[in-house]
Amino acid sequence: MVALRRMVSDARFGLARQVRLPGPFPLDGGTALDLLEVAYETYGDPAHPAILVCHALTGDHHVASAHPRTGKPGWWQRIVGPGRPIDTERFLIVCANVLGSCMGSSGPASLAPDGRPYAMRFPVITIGDMVRAQAALLDHLGIAQLHAVVGGSMGGMQALQWSAAHPERVAAALVIASSARHSAQNIAFHEVGRQAIMADPNWRGGDYYDGPAPTAGLAVARMAAHITYLSEAGLTEKFGRRLQAREAKTFGFDADFQVESYLRHQGLSFTDRFDANAYLTITRAMDYFDLSEEHGSLGRAFAGSRTRFCLLSFDSDWLYPTAESRAVVHALNAAGAPVSFVELSSPAGHDAFLLPHAEMERIIAGFLG
Amino acid sequence: MGELRPDLAIIAAQVPPGVRVLDVGCGDGALLAALRDGKGVDARGLEIDGGNVAAAVARGLSVVQGDADVDLAAYPDRSFDYAVLSQTLQTVRRPDRVLDDLLRIGERAFVSFPNFAHWRTRVSLLWGGRMPVTRLLPEAWYATPNIHHLTIDDFRAFARERGVRIEAAWFLAGTQRLSPAAANFRAEHAVFLLSRNG
């Protein structure tokens, strides 16, 4: 009851929070933000050890609560909750919308000091900047030490960045389906998405906030990216060459195939919840990510680290394949850090970390202790 | 917790408290858990089977899924007090290189393996004329993970050739400890404690 009262009385903790932290907030690119806004949620008792959950490219802080626009359940509701692998009855869970996004944290759609949206005036940011914004939030919440930082995909990059930049604050890092650097192929797919957005006449150099948004370009970007989140076997199993609500091919360019119809739906529904300029900003931050570049070598990034690590990859994930995780594991072994690693089996490709996977859930629970 | 396999029980009894141990081919982490919980050992593992690794990590152990033939290279010299290779030597592609890595990474190494010169194996091969399928070696030739069968005397000669010092040895028939006398004939399993000469 005492804990419950404290939760209720302290407005810093709870669902759908937002804080404005006074700047200047310096960025890796050399500029600074005058003001840092961070949208976030917390779950559980603030007196418990804290776990920071980091979201992926198009994710948000609604890790275990309904999305305000789509009404869909939280993106990791099966992992975060009472009695779940990340147990809200034993830990304080913090999840923040990343810097550069569009769900309440500072990003291209936020208002600049002149009262107009930043648009393309929003600085190019890095994964390091995202982590510094999270660190500023944790300072605001009075959380000095993290029991663990956990993330999949871009969230895993943040977890790695956290343990390299703030090893003293991170007791354990759980990195799922991720990488310590963006590969040429990763950058290439992102560039396709960015060019699709920029080729949309509605994009207008990013200044579209008082007119129609570049939804066609953003939808194409999402369609291309969505393919990279699935495996070839998964797509074949789900759609094969089946036709969409018709008996025969139409000899036209309508969505004859189910897979086309599915991708179009994925692309369009994405534009309801995401800002095109934020997509440009965050994909750029991911492309710039290379932990070894920053530290000279990957081993040096983790030298002397006392953080416990666990890396998980999926055998059908060709976006961040097992070899990327293994490179991190080898660097951690060389640094003498306690590290666990498993390649999990799943037909679901990169998206597997968001889907039910009993073995992954057991490992998460066991690793977090 | 269940009982440790006899060779692992010998190793667990020998490892002093508080040291650093790398168990190569650690299975589901039974030895690591015993060392961590019983002796406060900083215990790490390497294991090729994903299901085994998942079980070990789920019990809070630090275990990496990997291949002893490939992934030992990433571990720095002298980074562990003891490296353990239990029932794994006969399954790797290059036992000689794995053993070199073991004594590079660990100050000392425990190695345990099934003795192919045990009398029952000899009898089976001599009279049956077929590759032995015994309690000790339960798989048929085409299904066995044991691709480099060796005997206790093979291992002794190998250690001599490679300049590896045998600090101690233990011999087992089932769960029974045997004297070193005629171990190459009588023992089903051997456990050696090794270090580099000089």
Cβ of B54 within 8 Å of Cβ of A330? The answer is no
Tens-digit pLDDT profile for residues A113-172? 999 999 999 999 999 999 999 999 999 999 999 999 999 999 999 999 999 999 999 999
- Classify residue B158: in a domain, yes or no: yes
- Classify residue B184: in a domain, yes or no: yes
The structural domain count of chain B equals 1
H or E element, residue B169 = strand B164-173
Chosen from A305, A313, A341, A362 to mutate, greatest number of chain B CBs within 10 A: A341
Instruction: Give the C-alpha separation, A60 to A40, whole Å.
Output: 8
Q: Is A105 a catalytic residue?
A: no
Q: For A273-282, A295-304, B25-34, which range has the lowest pLDDT when averaged over its residues?
A: A295-304
Instruction: Give the C-alpha separation, A349 to A227, whole Å.
Output: 10
Q: Beta strand pairing status for A50-54 and A92-96?
A: parallel
Nearest of A235, A220, A223 to residue A318 by alpha carbon: A235
In percent, how much of chain A has pLDDT > 90? 95
Query: What average pLDDT does the segment A184-213 reach?
Result: 98
- Classify residue B1: in a domain, yes or no: no
- Classify residue B113: in a domain, yes or no: yes
Range of the domain at B36: 6-196
**How far is C-alpha A67 from the chain's CA centre?**
15
Instruction: Give the C-alpha separation, A231 to A349, whole Å.
Output: 4
| Tokens describing residue A178 | 């991720």
In A214-327, the DSSP E strands lie at: 308-314
CA distances for A33 relative to A129, A277, B90, B147, angstroms = 11, 17, 61, 62
| Tokens describing residue A176 | 């799922």
Contact A166, A302 (CB under 8 A): no
pLDDT band at residue A1 using 50, 70 and 90 as cut-offs? very low
Instruction: Give the C-alpha separation, A47 to A13, whole Å.
Output: 11
H or E element, residue B165 = strand B164-173
CATH number at residue B164: 3.40.50.150
- Give me the DSSP letters along B80-91: EEEEEEES-GGG
pLDDT band at residue B197 using 50, 70 and 90 as cut-offs? confident
pLDDT band at residue B135 using 50, 70 and 90 as cut-offs? confident
- Classify residue B30: in a domain, yes or no: yes
- Look up the ipTM and state it: 0.90
A343 contacts in B (CB within 8 Å)?
A: 50, 65
Nearest of B13, B4, B69, B64 to residue B41 by alpha carbon: B13
Predicted structure pTM score: 0.94
For chain A, which residues lie within 8 Å of any Cβ of chain B, measuring from their own Cβ? Answer: 308, 310, 326, 329-331, 333-334, 336, 338-345, 359, 362-363, 365-367, 369
Q: Could you tell me how many residues make up chain B?
A: 198
Instruction: Give the C-alpha separation, B123 to B118, whole Å.
Output: 9
Cβ atoms within 10 Å of A10's Cβ, excluding its own: 13
Tens-digit pLDDT profile for residues B99-133? 999 999 999 999 999 999 999 999 999 999 999 88
> For residue B76, what is the nearest residue in chain A, using CA coordinates?
A334
H or E element, residue A196 = helix A184-199
Instruction: Give the C-alpha separation, A330 to A342, whole Å.
Output: 13
Partner residue opposite B64 with nearest CB, options A339, A344, A345:
A339
Nearest of A359, A273, A268, A281 to residue A313 by alpha carbon: A359
Instruction: Give the C-alpha separation, B16 to B13, whole Å.
Output: 8
Instruction: Give the C-alpha separation, A143 to A146, whole Å.
Output: 7
Contact A163, A310 (CB under 8 A): no
Tens-digit pLDDT profile for residues B51-87? 999 999 999 999 999 999 999 999 999 999 999 999 9
- Classify residue B28: in a domain, yes or no: yes
A331 to chain B, minimum CA–CA distance in Å? 7
Selected catalytic residue, list A101, A350, A351, A357: A350
Cβ of B76 within 8 Å of Cβ of A330? The answer is no
Q: Is A317 a catalytic residue?
A: yes
CA dihedral B98, B103, B108, B111 (to 10 degrees): 20
Contact A144, A170 (CB under 8 A): no
